[in-house]
A and B are shown apart, each in its own frame.
Chain A
């Protein structure tokens, strides 16, 4: 994949006391790609994502996100990214419309823009009938789609999806991936973590982390070839299993 680099990580080290959570990471993420970030529980993924999203600072190394330095310009990074996690950051006791307006406000968008986007979004999601429903009353699949739409409401350069598609039916899951494709067609870069390896197959490139290091990074097809495996799940198990010490990892 060619294109501009939107995330550039060089020699990233993050320590907590003596514990090395990220051990000299080096990778680039390109504009408009779907980048899968995989690893077993405790491999260090969350630590990296927190650094990439400006919530935590590297111990050493250089991390540039959307052109800003994670050490010195964390606030600028936050303005240029979107974030969605499995626990959807939507407010249960606000309506669909109120949630969209709230996030528009938090992102500092103009009132007129927020109104236009809200209308467009409700139409695009076929959400008309739900616009005044409380979030708590929505089916999981709709919440998921709304959470994603809200995460890209301000047209960020990069959106981070942290285990986004747990527990929905196969149709809803595909609709969700189509929203992701559509966002990347607009030039938004998607950085996604998941425990479900069949989802990794949707990514343009996949990295696999183990014990604080990135041990594999390539297209799903290349990884399958390299590891002589039929699926990314097999690749993952080949990589993550032998190196695992006797289950020492903390959450």
Chain B
């Protein structure tokens, strides 16, 4: 399989802040590759290196077979980049924004209309509206159209779904899936773990380092312990009691249940007794499947139950 990105030992510092600490990874042609990690993990810095806007302090990277330091001019023609705060001109209309981006890359809307049709058709009825007056979901679709209008081979999307509602986010991921048919490779970042499942492979990134690169299903399966979902009506009290249970290794609230791991494979007998002795009567315990977020928590190595 052809590699669209090959990165080796990429490091970048800003003064005394180490934004990236020796990152290596490959991205295959035609895949959706996700970087999942919190604010400040280094995602944006990395994306600016991929898009030739920053130079790395150390390491090397080739993108589309071109060295991203020496070959930056050639690369820019083949990359579509959608930065975190959609770089739209708020005082231009929807259509003017798109036309502007097309002309910068020496093309026209008409020439590549087929590629953006699915996305742009949602906002085309509003093409005379100023970009500044669009809703979050519409801005996102326009920004994606602008990033695609020159038919790039690699699309780099920095947190495209932050601050956008759940319906628009679902539609957005569906659109990214369709780009595969055009053989466009997508590198995308998000702070939201649930979006990882929509990628072909994900890199978990934290404090400038990659913790793991895997398909989402493999990532879930690599959770090392048995996971139990514990529920009771008084969640806060239950959480405190679970943390005080001697066999507990970790206990994290996940919605209406508490995801808990124990140092013993079958803790149920002891746990039942313990919860009853602490006056909790309405609990339920079931074994559950780990999600991406469970694995991320495990990898972060903050397994201490007294993490505060």
Binding site for B on A (CB under 8 A): 39-42, 126, 139-141, 163, 166-172, 174-175, 177-178, 181-182, 184-185, 195-198, 201-202, 220-221, 233, 236-237, 240-241, 244, 246-247, 249-251
Contact = CB atoms under 8 A, between A and B. Distances in A.
B16 interface: no
Given A169-B206, A171-B300, A182-B236, A251 B38 contact: no
A42 B138 CA distance: 12
B255 A174 contact: no
Nearest to A184: B236
B39 A167 contact: yes
B279 interface: no
A175 B307 contact: yes
Contact of A41 (B168, B254, B293): B168
Interface string B168-193: 11100000000000000000000111
Contact of B254 (A175, A201, A251): A201
Contacts of B293: 170
Nearest to B41: A169
A195 B169 CA distance: 10
Given A177-B253, A236-B167, A247-B137, 15 more contacts: A39-B165, A40-B167, A126-B308, A172-B38, A182-B236, A195-B163, A202-B253, A233-B166, A240-B166, A246-B125, A247-B125, A247-B126, A250-B134, A251-B134, A251-B135
A40 B163 CA distance: 11
A41 B139 CA distance: 12
Contacts of A166: 162-163, 191
Contacts of B194: 198, 233
Closest 9 CB pairs of A and B: A201-B255, A169-B38, A181-B236, A167-B39, A40-B165, A167-B191, A249-B135, A41-B165, A240-B167
B302 interface: yes
B289 interface: no
Given A170-B300, A195-B166, A247 B255 contact: no
Given A41-B135, A126-B308, A247-B138, A171 B166 contact: no
A247 B164 CA distance: 13
Q: Which of B133, B167, B254 has the most CB of A within 10 A?
A: B167
A242 B164 CA distance: 18
B192 A185 contact: no
B122 interface: yes
Interface residues of B, number: 45
A202 B256 CA distance: 6
Contact of A140 (B39, B169, B206): B39
B268 interface: no
B143 to A, nearest CB: 14
A195 B167 CA distance: 10
B239 interface: yes
B38 A168 contact: yes
Q: Which of A174, A182, A196 has the most CB of B within 10 A?
A: A174
Interface in B264-298: 293, 296-297
A178 B39 contact: no
B165 A170 contact: no
Contact of B297 (A41, A163, A171): A171
B308 A175 contact: yes
Nearest to B257: A201
Nearest to B235: A181
Nearest to A233: B166
A175 B137 CA distance: 30
B252 interface: yes
Contacts of B191: 166-168
17 contacts: A40-B167, A41-B136, A42-B135, A169-B41, A170-B252, A170-B293, A171-B307, A178-B239, A178-B253, A185-B237, A198-B254, A202-B255, A220-B255, A240-B166, A247-B122, A250-B135, A251-B134
A214 to B, nearest CB: 16
B135 A247 contact: yes
Q: Which of B39, B206, B300 has the most CB of A within 10 A?
A: B39
A3 to B, nearest CB: 13
B39 to A, nearest CB: 4
Given A198-B255, A201-B255, A241 B167 contact: yes
Nearest to B125: A246
A178 B206 CA distance: 22
A97 B194 CA distance: 36
Contacts of B133: 250-251
B97 to A, nearest CB: 16
A6 to B, nearest CB: 19
B123 interface: yes
B40 A140 contact: yes
